[in-house]
Amino acid sequence: MLEHVLYLLRIKKFFERDRVPLEIRVLGIILAYLGLSYRKAAQVISTFHNASYESVRKWYKKVLKYCLV
């Protein structure tokens, strides 16, 4: 699932900036999709990269808007 979502987001060039690696963003999106709160997902991601719960929320809503999840 992770590789498929990564592939789709890379092809579509979904995110304009690369400040946070795409793999980290996809992990946050999948964690939110699986039911973790945005804060809990951000805590998990913070072990790899600094990201706020608001960032996770924005990533998730943006992808959800285009029905990729």
For the chain, percent of residues with pLDDT exceeding 90: 59
Confirm if 68 and 5 have CB atoms less than 8 A apart. yes
- pLDDT attached to residue 67: 66
- What confidence tens digit (pLDDT) does each residue in 40-69 have? 999 999 999 999 999 999 999 988 887 654
51 vs 3, higher pLDDT: 51
Nearest alpha carbon to residue 62 among 43, 20, 47, 50: 20
The amino acid occupying position 43 is Q
- pLDDT attached to residue 46: 93
3-state secondary structure the chain: CHHHHHHHHHHHCCCCCCCCCHHHHHHHHHHHHCCCCHHHHHHHHCCCCCCCHHHHHHHHHHHHHCCCC
For the chain, percent of residues with pLDDT exceeding 70: 96
